[in-house]
Structure 1
Amino acid sequence: MLAVLPLALLATWVVPTVSGPPISVEKKRPRAAERRPTAPRPMIISRAEWGADDSLRTEPVTYTGAPQAAFVHHTGHPDDYDCADVPAMLRAMQVDHVLGQGWDDLGYNFVVDKCGTIYEGRAGGIDRFVLGAHTTGFNHDSVGIAALGDFSYVETLPEPLLASIASIAAWKLSSESDPLGQVRLVSTNDASRYAEGTAAVVDVIAGHRDIFYTHCPGDPLYAALPDIRDRVVALRAEAAAAADRSGDSPASAEGAEPDRTTQPDDPTESAESYGSAEPAEPEGSDQTAGPVDPDDPAGPARPDDPAQPARLSTGVP
């Protein structure tokens, strides 16, 4: 004989209501990894100050993650330029990159002249993590710093140049990056020394030649990379000591960016602008075109990133 359950046991359980005002639940954003002090932002000449022509740009800016590596380049300009002429040289380089090479903007994130002046390169915001076009296959999660000049046949590199390159790396690199260490990056382009999808272990502060078939940044500047790494360590140690003395919490220096998967606070900005998915290579032109090596005309011509900066940057359009 079948047992008959009381109706009360067959009824669906209903969550009891609670009287009173509604409970406010704060939506917390994902916590980024703990960040230590990096270094203060150095003085940087903005694009507006050197006269960049933003009307040449037609593509939206793409952002990436905090730089895990800094790639050092040279632009190939003659070394005997006058530093007063640098803004005009940058304007000519932008014209060449956009109109001559078919790219959307300068490829380097920052350019440093021999007098140590730092210039904002690719558009998108000095304090933002802008996806550059400086190191084929490894533009994501990296920063490109270019020395304005060739510096291949000099006995001594300008001290202000080295100091400024180090100051950018000390400030811009992720606080989790060890300037004396190495990092694992994955290639996004077959034109580099590493096939697309291949992981490469490179120095956190590396030269362009470590990734691409090129002589860049020239032997003297490449040989100076260990000194630049030591300078970055010293700058970050000074920043940490200053933070300890002032009692500041161990937060990062200027330039911090939300996690790649974090939605922006500003509702007018799209989540895609932060690279929540892996950003496409910039510019969108045919990657099999195969322009000349961006920095070294003597090096072999290789296929390149669509927006890879050109070697032809002599200050003459």
Structure 2
Amino acid sequence: MWSRRLVLGVLVLPLALLVFGDGPASRAPETERATGPRPPRGLPQPALVSRRDWHADEKLVREGPHYTGAARAVFVHHTGNPNDYDCADAPALIRAVQRDHIRQDGWDDIGYNFLVDRCGTIYEGRAGGVGRAVLGAHTKGFNVDTVGIAAIGNFGEGVAVPKPMLDALVELAAWKLRPGADPLGSVDLISTNDESRFDEGQVAGLHVISGHRDSFETRCPGDALYALLPELRERAAKLRATVPGHSAAARLRPSL
């Protein structure tokens, strides 16, 4: 019988093949780096596991957080792990992602802003405050004014996406988008990196809730999860419609 340590090693191995698609964060304007904007009150913060509770290795972190504008878009990812992990092992898997992003990719910290396991538990990702607009390193060319959420698992064609996971993705996306953003709508974002699907400086028209593949040459977040993005958008829009100022009718005009 395999030891617990060996099993975890097998689970985290596929991460090395997935993380290359994410890019280093672009720096926010100097005036936004110190504190970052806090989103207005609206939907309640979902229950989540803090970095302290999943035992993030803060000694590995190379630099403190930077901040950007409130989220105009959400990018959905998957981590590439096998899907049969025990949810009790999710913190160990997340620590492996953090190590890979820092040691292999040379980033300051874990790239994703949040991660969600198959049991629907939400985890704080990159440090800086879950209620604030932390600049991540999740979507090459499009880290500014966006949020990156990674589903822990591998959701290729024919793989069932657990309902608790999808429920958590809906709740998290609805909460993190800035007031007035329409989950059913589109947004114009400016690419900051030629290695994305769009040249640096090019305006990209993307879904407010997009998959990683929409902006980068990758299969992430997997065909199965990508196929559920229309449902995710609809459910997030309905949830936001319950809060004044967050519905599509109050949509903010995008500024470039």
TM-score by length of 1: 0.63
Structure 2 match to 1:120 = 124
Following superposition, the deviation at residue 128 of structure 1 comes to 0.9
Q: Which of 84, 99, 105 in structure 1 is aligned with 2:103?
A: 99
Structure 2 contact 181–246 (Cα < 8 Å) conserved: no
Q: Over aligned residue pairs, what C-alpha RMSD do you find? A: 1.9
| 1:135-171 CA-partner distances (Å, limit 9, x unpaired) | 0000000000100000114443111111101111111
Aligned match of 1:190: 194
Q: Distance in 2 between matches of 1:125 and 1:67?
A: 14
2:85 is the alignment partner of 1:81: yes
Distance 2:121 2:175 in 1: 15
Question: What is residue 69 of structure 1 aligned with on the other side?
Answer: 73
What amino acid is aligned across from residue 229 of structure 2 in structure 1?
L
Of 148, 162, 165, the residue aligned with 1:158 is 162
Distance 1:165 1:58, change over 3 A: same
Cα distance in 1, alignment partners of residues 40 and 128 from structure 2: 25
Q: Distance in 2 between matches of 1:155 and 1:59?
A: 37
The letter of the residue matching 1:67 is A
Q: Percent identity?
A: 57
CA distance in 2, matches of 1:191, 1:251: 33
Shift of 1:251: 8.8
Larger RCO, structure (CA 8 Å, separation 6 or more): 1
After superposition, give the CA deviation of every residue in 1:160-211 in whole Å (9 maximum; x if it has no partner): 1111011111110011211100000000000100000000000000000000
Corresponding residue number in structure 2 for 1:39: 43
* Aligned residues of 2:77 and 2:150 also touching (Cα < 8 A): yes
What CA distance in whole angstroms lies between the structure 2 residues aligned with 1:47 and 1:155? 29
Q: 1:37, 1:130 → 2: CA distance?
A: 17
1:110 to partner: Cα distance:
0.3
Counterpart in 2 of 1:201?
Answer: 205
Residues 207-286 of structure 1: pairs in structure 2 closer than 5 A: 207-240=211-244
State the shift of 1:75 in Å: 0.5
Q: 8 Å contact 2:179–2:246 — kept in the other structure? A: no
- Asked whether the 8 Å contact 1:73–1:144 carries over to 2, the reply is yes
The aligned counterpart of 2:64 is 60
SS at match of 1:111: strand
Distance 2:107 2:171 in 1: 28
Counterpart contact for 1:36–1:251, Cα < 8 Å: no
2:164 corresponds to which letter in structure 1? P
Q: What is the number of equivalent residue pairs in this alignment? A: 210
Amino acid at match of 1:151: F
Shift of 1:104: 1.7
Counterpart residue type for residue 216 of structure 1: C
- Whose radius of gyration is greater, 1 or 2? 1
Higher helix share: 2
SS at match of 1:235: helix
When normalised by structure 2's length, the TM-score is 0.78
Query: 1:128-139 maps to which residues of 2 (within 5 A)?
Result: 128-139=132-143
How far 1:62 moved relative to its partner?
0.7
1:232-264 superposed Cα distances (whole Å, 9 cap, x missing partner): 012112334xxxxxxxxx599xxxxxxxxxxxx
